[in-house]
Amino acid sequence: MANESRTTLEMKRHFAVSAELLFDAWTRPEMMKKWLMTTESTNTLAENDARVGGHWTIADHRQGKDYKAVGEYVELSRPNRIVFTFQMPQFSESIDRLTVDIAPQEHGCEMTFTQTIVVPHEEGWTEADIAKALEEYRSGSEHGWSLMFGGLKDILALYPLIQHIGAQKVAVMDDAELKSAVEDHFKKENEQALASLRYLGYFEHDSVALTPIGLQLIRQLTQHLL
């Protein structure tokens, strides 16, 4: 019997931004650290060499523990496709393969995310044990990515807000004016989006007030649009 098995996870998500902006969220370190295996407030390292054969690293610190995810780029075709390896070496020597396909649409873009998950076998496992492990790995990965994609969607939803206000106008607003404009918008926004942005640290937990890193986020996204 082989020492490992594989299963495939496929997920689709729609984002109300251009394919280019979504591609950059996967490949620009200043964007990666906001959602990919980490949050801006817990991230300790986000770096990459976005070329075929280049490597990427994300490091996160939570509850006194350090976590690291690493990988290598296999294919990059902006803005439509990213293929790269994924490993968390503190947990396993197994290396998964991730594929992100991005299709432009009339109102945004659609992402098809595919993960080839490697499940190492433990000694004495039966076929039933393997089947159970495959399902557990797959469902666990799906849950984790669902949370991350939810956060990513809410972060990227700030781009249309900036475009509505006007990126050139936002760029010259002082902090008080920008906070007021964003907070006025979110007084009318759905609570689900706010809950995610609060969890990520961009808004205060009990109000629509931007935190300092939330204000910084708006500034960074605005510069990306200019």
- Sketch out the chain's domains with CATH numbers: 4-126 (3.30.530.20), 158-225 (no CATH)
Specify the pLDDT at position 95: 97
* pLDDT above 90: percentage of residues in the chain: 88
Strands 81-86 and 55-62: unpaired
Phi and psi at 148, nearest 5°, equal -65, -45
Specify the pLDDT at position 189: 66
Specify the pLDDT at position 190: 65
Average pLDDT over residues 129-147: 97
**pLDDT at position 101 over 60:** yes
Is residue 192 very low, low, confident or very high in pLDDT (cuts 50, 70, 90)? confident
- pTM of the predicted structure, to 2 decimals: 0.93
Specify the pLDDT at position 1: 46
Encoded amino acid at 199, one letter: Y
C-beta separation of 158 from 210 below 8 A: no
Average pLDDT over residues 117-132: 95
**pLDDT at position 114 over 50:** yes
**pLDDT at position 185 over 90:** no
Encoded amino acid at 209, one letter: A
Q: How far apart are the first and last CA of the chain?
A: 56
* pLDDT above 70: percentage of residues in the chain: 98
- DSSP, res 180: H
Average pLDDT of the residues of the chain: 94
Among residues 42, 31, 34, which one has the least CA distance to residue 223? Answer: 31
